[in-house]
Amino acid sequence: MSTSTTPQSGAEPTPVRTASAAPLVSVMTTSEVPAAYSIGNASASSRTGSWLVGEIDDNTDFEVGYIPFPAPDGPGIFTGGLGSGPFISSGTSKTDAALEFVDFLASPEHGEWTVENLHTIPPMPLETEGLAGVSPLFASVLEDTATLSTSGDFGYNIDVLTTDVFNEAMYDGMQAVFTGQQAPEEVAADLEAAAQK
């Protein structure tokens, strides 16, 4: 781990901690990577989603930012996905009560509660100033999400939209690229083949 300084506009240099990649990162489990990242042992970045913001806030002692994946051309893109969604059974005998409850789940009041208590993105833009427990990192995620919600440029949540065959090829392929076992072009061909199944 090393510490460097990053000059900020009009300010004194601020210490920024960076970490070097741990050996055999590709063999770490999905729960081990965030744990290693939070103590600075995994990498200078971690490919994850907003669902991990609370854990990152609770377990890191260095400044963390949230950025979109880089794009080959133009700006990067954030990827949105389905976190959860309430449903009403067609066989319910309490339709009105169920609709009232779903309306409550989509209310600004409940949105504020989920932001403060669950650290999850609500189904509507919210002003975070004055809300309890909203870290600068989570406020940034919420602001970016609110801005992007009006542009419609959210990308795709690939592992939700694709088959298990494709997802397995993607996970195995990424590890093969990272460990030098396959070239990116080979993995792309495997992904194309898996997408057709």
Residue 41 and residue 76 share a domain = no
For residue 12, the model assigns a pLDDT of 43
Look at 197 and 4; give whichever has higher pLDDT.
197
Residue 44 and residue 6 share a domain = yes
Return the H-helix or E-strand segment holding 2: strand 2-6
For residue 187, the model assigns a pLDDT of 93
Assess if residue 182 is contained within a domain.
yes
Residue 60 and residue 135 share a domain = no
**pLDDT exceeds 70 at position 191:** yes
Assess if residue 110 is contained within a domain.
no
Residue 11 and residue 53 share a domain = yes
For residue 181, the model assigns a pLDDT of 92
Residue 138 and residue 58 share a domain = no
Spatial distance between the Cα atoms of 51 and 171, rounded to a whole number of angstroms: 19
Q: In sequence order, what are the residues at sequence separation of 6 or more whose Cβ sits closer than 8 angstroms to the Cβ of residue 31?
A: none
For residue 42, the model assigns a pLDDT of 53
| Ramachandran sector of residue 188 (left: φ over 0; alpha: ψ -120 to 50; beta: rest) | alpha
Averaged confidence pLDDT in the chain: 73
Residue 21 and residue 34 share a domain = yes
Residue 70 and residue 5 share a domain = no
Assess if residue 45 is contained within a domain.
yes
Q: What is the mean pLDDT of residues 47-70?
A: 74
Residue 5 and residue 38 share a domain = yes
Quote the number of domains for the chain: 3
**pLDDT exceeds 80 at position 123:** no
Q: Could you tell me the two tokens for 192?
A: 């194309």
Residue 77 and residue 5 share a domain = no
**For residue 47, what are the domain limits?**
1-64
Assess if residue 177 is contained within a domain.
yes
Residue 75 and residue 142 share a domain = yes
Residue 77 and residue 52 share a domain = no
For residue 145, the model assigns a pLDDT of 76
Q: Could you tell me the two tokens for 125?
A: 């833009």
18-22, 60-64, 78-82, 140-144: least confident range: 18-22
Q: Place 188 in a pLDDT band, splitting at 50, 70 and 90.
A: very high
Residue 39 and residue 13 share a domain = yes
Q: What is the pLDDT of residues 135-149, one digit of tens each?
A: 888 888 888 777 776
**pLDDT exceeds 90 at position 133:** no
Place of tokens 């002692």: 61
3-class DSSP assignment, residue 6: strand
